[in-house]
Chains A and B, each alone.
Chain A
C-alpha cells in the first residue's frame, strides 16, 4: 500500500509540475475564442460541480477561468487542468453522457494538455472518440471511475508524451488481447497503466512496450500480469527499450519465481518497484543481479517472499556501486530473520530504509549511525531486542522513525533529542522502561509522538511543551506517574492526546482550555483527581473526551454545553457529584454519553430530549433522583438507555418510549420506579435486552413481552409480578437467552415449553411461589449455563433430564421440597461448578450420591445442606480436588471424618484465583453459608473467593483428622453439633486464613493448643460445650476474642476471658506480647500508694518508688536533672524579661 502511495506521489508530482510549466506560458492579454467558450460552458453542464471547482467559469474571458490555459499568441484553449480528488480537493461528478463531454472537448481543436483525473464519471466506458483528439500531448484520465475496455482508438494519439490511465480503484479497466494500438503511441515517454487489468493482454506485451522508443517511465502496478507476459519473449526485447527505461513499477502482479531476466539489461533504471511480487524462487545472487544496474537508486522488494538465503553473503558479496547508490531501500514484509543485515551499514546513500515486518532479531546495531543521510527508518514489526543505541541521535537528517512492535528494552536514549528534523516518532509496543528523557523537548519539528504500550515510568517531562508542531501524542498503556505537565497547554497544534492506562495523578489543568485544536482527549484509567476544569468548554473542536476510570470529583462543568462538536463523552467510574448540567442539551452532535458509576445526584435534565443524535445514554449507578423525563421520548436514534441503579422514582409509561423506535437495550432496573405500561402497549420492536428489575409492575407477566420476537434477555426481578407464567413462553419468545424473574410472586408450575427454548442459557426463577414438579423434558440440544429454581415450593423428584447439560455451570435447586433418593450424575456435567441442592428432602446414602466417575471434576461448590442424606463420608468425595465450598451440614451423616481432605488442592494451596470463575460467580449467583456464626449471602467476589467446610449438625464421631491443619486456605471450618472426640489438632495455628472456626457442641477434650493464638485472621471462634481443659491461650488475635461464650460449657477451662482463674499448677500459657498486668504486683502496689497517699504528688511516694524500682530510679534522676535545667531556664528567662522591662522603662 505504502509503495503504491509513493508511486502515486511521484506520479502526481511529476504531472503537477509538468502542468504548472505548461500553464505559466499563457498570456492573459488575449480573450478567449467565443466558440471554445461555449464548448467549455457545455462541458461544465455535463457535471455536477458540488464543490464549486468550476465556479469561476463565467464571464467572457474563458482564459481567466480556473484550470483553463490559452495559447499566448492565438488565444486558443490549449490546456485543461481539472484535477479532482476523492479526498479534500474539488471533484466533478458526471451527470450527462460521457460522449457529450468528449464531443465538447473535441471542439477545443488546439487542446494539447488534458487532465481530468480524480473526477467521477460514474463507471462509464472510455469513449473511443478520445482518439480523435490527435493534437493531445498530455492525457490524464487516471482514477476517474472508468470501466471496461480501453479503446484501441487511443492509439491514434501519436503525439502523446504522457498517457496516464492509472486506476487506483483497480480492476475496472482492462485491455483485451489485441494491444498493438499501444505501439502506435510512438512519442510517449510516460505511460501509467497501474490498476488496469492486463491479464488478458497477449504475451508479447513487453515487446509492444519495447516499440515505444521514447518510453522512460512505465507504471504497471497491480495489472494482473503473469509470468507469460515477462519471460517468454524476453530474448526478443528491443535493446533500446531496455536501455531507456528509468522508472519501472511492476509491483503487485502475479509473477512468481524469479526476477525477470531482462532487468539486467535495463542500464538506465533508477527506480524499480517489484513489491508484492513473489520472488521466493529468485537465485541467491538476487541482490548481485540488481547491483549490476548502475543507476539504480530506488528499490522496493517489499512483500516478495524473500528469505535469508537471498541476502548477500561472503560468497555473494554486494558490489560497491549498489551499496553506494541506493537511496531508497525497502525489503519490508519478507521473511528475513536473524540480526539486522550487516551490509546495510555500507549503504551510505540511504535516505529511506524499510525493514518492517520481517523477523529480525538481536539489537539495533550501533553502526546505524553511519547511515548519515537517513531520513526515514522503519524497523517496526520485527523481534528486535536490546536497547535503542545511543548513536541513533547522530542521524541528524532523520524525519521519521518507526521502531514499534519489537521487544526493545532499556530506556529511550537521551541523544534522541538531537534528531532536530524528526517529524514522526513511533516507539510503541516495545518493552521500553525508564522515564521519557527531558531531551525530547528539543524535537522541534515533531508532529506525532507514539510511545504507547511500553513500560515507561516517571513523569511526563515538562519539556514536552516545547514541541510546538506536535499534533498527536500517544503515551497510553505505560507506567507513567506524576501529574500531566502544565506545559502541555502550550502545544497549540495538538489534535489528539492519548494518555490512558497510566498512573497519572494530580488534577486536570485549567490551562487545557488553550488547546484549541484538540479533537480527542483520552486520559482514562489513570489516578487523576480534582474536578473537571471549567475551561474544557473552550475546546471548540473537541469530538471525544474520555476521562473514565479516574478519581475525579466535583461536578460536571456547565461549560461542557459549549462543546458543539462533541460526539462522545465518557466520564464513568469517577467520583463526580453534583447534578448533570442542563447545558448538556446543547450538545447537538452528541452520540454517546456515559456517566455511569459516579455520585451524580439531582434529576436527569429535561434538556436531554434535545440530543437528537444520541445513540447511547448511560447514567447507571449514580444517585440520580426525580423522574425519568418524558422528553427522553424524542431521542429517536437512541439504541441504548441505561439508567439503572439510581434512585429514580415515579412512573414509567408507554409515553417515555413513544419515538424510541431504535431502542435495543433498556436498562432501568434497581430504581424506585413503577412500571405502568398498558397491557396493549407496543414496545420498540428491536428491543433485545430488557432490564427492569425492581420496577414495580403489580400485574401478571406483561403481555407486551410476547411482541418482542427477537428479545434475548428479560430481567424483571423483584418487579411485583404475580400469577403464572404463560404456558407457551418457550414458543412465544424463541430467541430468549436469559430469563431472570427472581424475587416475584409468580406461581403455578414452571412451563414445560421452556424445554423447547433452544437458546436459553440463563434461567432464574428463584424466590417465587412456583409449585408442582420441575419439568423433566429437558433436551440435549439445550445448552443451559445457569439454572436457579431455589426458594420456591417445588416438589417431586430431581429432574433427571438435567444431568445432560454439558455446559451447565451453575445449578441451584435449594430451599424447595424436592425429595427422593438422589443420584448425582456428574459424568456429563463436565462444566458444573456449583451444585446446590440444599434445604430439600433428598435422601440417600452419601457414598452412592457422589460415587461414580468424578475424578478431577471441576466442581467448586457442593452444597447438600439441610437434607436427609445419610451414611458415612466416602473417600470418593475427596476426588473433587477443586472444591472450594463443601457444605454437608444438617444431614444424618455418620462415621468418622476421612483423612483425605488434603486432596482438596484448592484448600491446601489456592493459587491465584482464576478469573474465569469470576465470570461464573456473576451477579445472578449467590449462596447462603453459615460463616462467622451468621447465615450470610455470598455473591460475586466473596463467593468466588470463599473457601469453607461445613459438616455441622450431623452424627460424625471420632477425632478431627490431624491433616485438617494443611487446609491453609480455608476461611471457615464448622464441625459443630457432632459427636467428635479427641484433641483439637496441636498445629491448628497453621490454618492461617481461618476467619471462622466452630468446634462447639462436641466432645473434644484436652487443652486448647497455644498455636491458636497465631490465627491472626480469626474473628469468630466457638469452642463452647466440649470437655476442653486447662488455661485458655492468649496473645495476638485471641486477646481480641474475649467473649466468654466462646469457651462456655467447658468446666475445666480457666483463665481470661472466663472468670475462673487458673490454679498455680496449671501450665502458664505461652504468651507473645500480651502484657498481663498481674505480673508486676509490686510496682502496682507502689502506684496505689502514690495515688492514694495524701501527698498526691508526694515526696515519699516518688522516693519510695524510686528506692524500690530500679528502672524508675534512673528515669527519675534523669528527669530531676532535666527539671533542674528547666527551672534554671525559667528563672533566667524571667530575670531577662524583668531586666528588659526595666531597661525599656528607663529608655522612655
Chain B
C-alpha cells in the first residue's frame, strides 16, 4: 500500500493539471485577483484567494451576498503593502472596503467612485498619496469615509458635500490644503477630522477660492 502513495500524488497532480486552472469567469474574482497581484503579502493573508474557484465567496476576507456578489473586503490590519488598481472599481456590489492599518501606497484609484453601493471606505493608516478622487461624489450610499493618517495632498473636493448620507468623514493627518467645506454633511463633522493638515480653516464662499493656499 505504501508504495502506492507516490503514485497517488502523481495521479492527483496530473489530475489537477488537466482539470484545475479554470480561471473564474467571475469578474469580481478577477478584480480581486488583480488586486492580489498588486499587493505584497508577507503574512500570507491572501493565500486562500484561489482564482480557480467559480466565485471568490469562500476566500478569506471576502464576503458575498446571497447572489455571490462581493459585498465586503476586510483587509484591515493585514500587513499588506503595494498599490490599488482600477480593477477594484469592478466590485459593483461592494459595501465595505476595509483596508485600514496597512502599508498601501500610491494614488487612490479614481475608479473607486464606481462603487455605488459602498457604505464604508476605511483606508486610514496607510501611505496613500495624491488627491482624494472627485469621483467619490458618486458614492451615494457612503456613510463612513476614513482616510486619516495617509499622505494625501490637494484639497478636499467640494463635490463631496453632495454626499448627504455621509456620517463620518476623517481626513486628519494628511497633507491636504485649501479650506474645509461647510456645506451638506460637512456642517456636522468635528474639527479633529481635519487636524494635522495644511488646511486653512472653514471655507468662506465668494471671498477666496476653496483651494486657496494649495
Contacts and interface: CB of A to CB of B under 8 A. Distances in A.
Interface stretch (A163-171, A501-509, A1075-1083): A1075-1083
Contacts of A942: 48, 50, 53, 58-60
A1091 B60 CA distance: 46
Contacts of A1109: 191
B64 to A, nearest CB: 7
Contacts of A937: 58
A1106 to B, nearest CB: 9
A1019 B74 contact: yes
A814 B192 CA distance: 56
Contacts of B111: none
A775 B195 CA distance: 73
A100 interface: no
B19 A644 contact: yes
Contacts of B11: 737-738, 761-762, 785
Interface stretch (A312-320, A555-563, A625-633, A1036-1044): A1036-1044
Interface residues of A, number: 82
Contacts of A1115: 199-201
A333 B23 CA distance: 50
A713 B63 CA distance: 36
A995 interface: yes
A945 B61 CA distance: 13
Interface string A1105-1140: 100010110011011001100100000000000000
Interface stretch (B85-93, B131-139, B203-211): B203-211
A1126 B212 contact: yes
B62 to A, nearest CB: 8
Contacts of B61: 995, 1017, 1019
A1123 B144 CA distance: 33
Given A807-B8, A939-B53, A738 B15 contact: yes
Contact of A1102 (B50, B120, B202): B202
Given A936-B58, A1040-B98, A923 B208 contact: no
Interface stretch (A394-402, A662-670, A848-856): A662-670
A155 to B, nearest CB: 59
B60 A995 contact: yes
Interface string B169-190: 0100000000100100001111
A807 B13 contact: no
Contacts, number: 190
Contacts of A66: none
Contacts of B112: none
A645 B17 CA distance: 12
A597 interface: yes
B60 A919 contact: no
A213 to B, nearest CB: 64
B71 to A, nearest CB: 9
B18 A1119 contact: no
A1111 B191 contact: yes
Contacts of B204: 1097, 1102
Contacts of A713: 15
Interface string B56-94: 011111011010000010101110000000000000000
A1096 B205 contact: yes
B200 A1118 contact: yes
Contact of B191 (A1083, A1097, A1119): A1083
Nearest to A1087: B187
Main SS at interface, chain A:
mixed
Interface in A757-783: 761-762, 783
A1097 B206 contact: yes
Interface in A917-953: 919-920, 922-924, 931-932, 934, 936-943, 945-946
Interface string B15-33: 1101111110000000000
A761 B202 CA distance: 73
Given A761-B11, A1083-B191, A667 B66 contact: no
A1020 interface: yes
A919 B200 contact: no
A1090 B63 contact: no
A913 interface: yes
A738 B63 CA distance: 35
Contacts of A737: 11
Interface in A1014-1055: 1016-1020, 1036-1037, 1039-1040
B63 A1091 contact: no
Most B-side CB within 10 Å, residue of A922, A1040, A1102, A1109: A1040
A1122 B190 contact: no
Contacts of B16: 919, 922-923
Contacts of A1084: 188, 190
A17 interface: no
A940 B24 CA distance: 13
A1017 B74 contact: yes
A1115 B180 CA distance: 11
A825 to B, nearest CB: 17
Contacts of B98: 1037, 1040
Contacts of B200: 1115, 1118-1119, 1122
B52 A644 contact: no
Interface string A603-646: 00000000000000000110000000000000000000010110
B160 to A, nearest CB: 16
Contacts of B187: 1087-1088, 1091
B201 A665 contact: no
A946 B187 CA distance: 46
A1121 to B, nearest CB: 10
B103 interface: no
B208 A667 contact: no
B74 A1018 contact: yes
Contacts of A665: 18
Contacts of A1091: 182, 187
Contact of A1039 (B64, B144, B213): B144
B101 A1016 contact: yes
A448 B6 CA distance: 38
Contacts of A1097: 204-207
B139 to A, nearest CB: 15
Given A932-B63, A971-B60, A1040 B9 contact: no
Q: Which 5 A-B pairs have the closest CB atoms?
A: A941-B50, A942-B58, A1016-B77, A1115-B201, A645-B22
23 contacts: A645-B21, A645-B22, A669-B19, A670-B22, A806-B1, A913-B47, A936-B57, A938-B58, A940-B50, A940-B53, A941-B49, A1017-B74, A1019-B63, A1037-B98, A1040-B96, A1040-B98, A1075-B193, A1077-B167, A1080-B190, A1083-B191, A1115-B200, A1116-B201, A1119-B213
Given A941-B50, A1020-B63, 4 more contacts: A642-B18, A807-B4, A1016-B101, A1090-B182
Interface of B: 1, 4-5, 8-9, 11-13, 15-16, 18-23, 47-50, 52-53, 57-61, 63-64, 66, 72, 74, 76-78, 96, 98, 100-101, 120, 122, 124, 144, 148, 167-168, 170, 179, 182, 187-193, 199-202, 204-208, 212-213
Interface of A: 573, 596-597, 620-621, 642, 644-645, 665, 667, 669-670, 689, 691, 713, 715, 737-738, 761-762, 783, 785, 806-807, 809, 913, 916, 919-920, 922-924, 931-932, 934, 936-943, 945-946, 971, 995, 1016-1020, 1036-1037, 1039-1040, 1073-1075, 1077, 1079-1080, 1083-1084, 1087-1088, 1090-1091, 1096-1097, 1102, 1105, 1109, 1111-1112, 1115-1116, 1118-1119, 1122-1123, 1126
